[in-house]
Amino acid sequence: MSAEIIYGRELAEDIRERMTKEVADLRELGVVPGLAVVIVGNDPASLSYVRGKDKASKKVGLESNLIELPEEVSQEELLDLVDRLNHDSNVHGILVQLPLPDHINEDEVIEAISPSKDVDGFHPVSIGRMMAGKETFLPCTPLGILTMFKEKEISLEGKHVVVLGRSRIVGKPIGQMLLNENATVTYCHSRTKNLKDFTQNADILIVAVGKPGFISGDDIKDGAVVIDVGVNRIEDGSLTGDVDFESALEKASYITPVPRGVGPMTITMLLHNTIQAAKQLNQIPQRSS
């Protein structure tokens, strides 16, 4: 068997095309959805991601403001900036790129963001609402994965989902969101023993570890759905996921590639959340689609 490849990038392009029209309609009403992306320091990978977000935002007609701060910025300065963005009526979404330098208290910065502008869905209020299954901003990578499942009509109810990784950005929220969809969820992490026993029993395997080739065909069950979240730059300068694509392709029923898989969906969901935030802050009714 050879898996069907889920090209997130193609789905992302379709969704962004619809968004472009929606943003044009909002602009007619005098509402220009605005996103502020804050990056501290000059890590090349992080800079490349935030530039990708900035470019994609502008392409669908959002007003995107990329704020680059030096590595040495103080906690106070960063909190002051967040406060200014919270009060700026042209800004509807605020994203502070993670990780932040060691001298910055990441939790304090995230908690300073107004929940009404929390387009990353990392604020404790957003997380609490997500856990309760209430409407809220959902974290972009998990929301992108969920959107791929819906598009491919991959059913989640009663499925055994195994999540590798428990980060704030990916692992923890995707597990909770799939639990909300009635999946049976197992979390694995660096202290998990006998990892293969879990991965080989997964109907759906979500890999967000950050290690190239961490999972191969031997680790998965025949017909499993494999979602590769990892984005790793290797020596030759190319990008690769956490899954050995060729061997997994032979056993899986569906698989996402890297690049052009989950990554472009993440960015698209950020744009989606920003448009929703702009509508909510301007009391414009939500569309059903």
Ligand X SMILES: Nc1nc(=O)c2c([nH]1)NC[C@@H]1CN(c3ccc(C(=O)N[C@@H](CCC(=O)O)C(=O)O)cc3)C=[N+]21
Residue nearest to ligand X (CB): 263
Instruction: Answer yes or no: are the C-beta atoms of 119 and 94 closer than 8 Å.
Output: yes
Catalytic residue among 97, 118, 203, 244: 97
State the binding string over 108-127 for ligand X (x if CB under 6 A, else -): ------------x-------
Those residues with Cβ within 8 angstroms of residue 67's Cβ, 6 or more apart along the chain or in another chain? 36, 37, 38, 39, 81
Instruction: Answer yes or no: are the C-beta atoms of 231 and 48 closer than 8 Å.
Output: no
Of 190, 194, 283, 289, which one interacts with ligand NDP (CB under 6 A)? 190
User: How far apart are the C-alpha atoms of 243 and 210, rounded to whole Å?
Assistant: 10
Q: Decide: is 52 part of the binding site for ligand X (CB under 6 A).
A: yes
192 by Cβ neighbours in 10 Å (0-12 / 13-18 / 19+) ranks as: middle
Beta bridge partner(s), residue 69: 40
Helix (H, G, I), strand (E, B) or coil at 66: strand
**120 an active-site residue?**
yes
Q: Decide: is 193 part of the binding site for ligand NDP (CB under 6 A).
A: no
Q: Decide: is 60 part of the binding site for ligand NDP (CB under 6 A).
A: no
State the binding string over 76-105 for ligand X (x if CB under 6 A, else -): -------------------xxxx-------
Q: Decide: is 216 part of the binding site for ligand NDP (CB under 6 A).
A: no
Of 94, 104, 169, 185, which one interacts with ligand NDP (CB under 6 A)? 169
Of 259, 280, 282, 284, which one interacts with ligand X (CB under 6 A)? 259
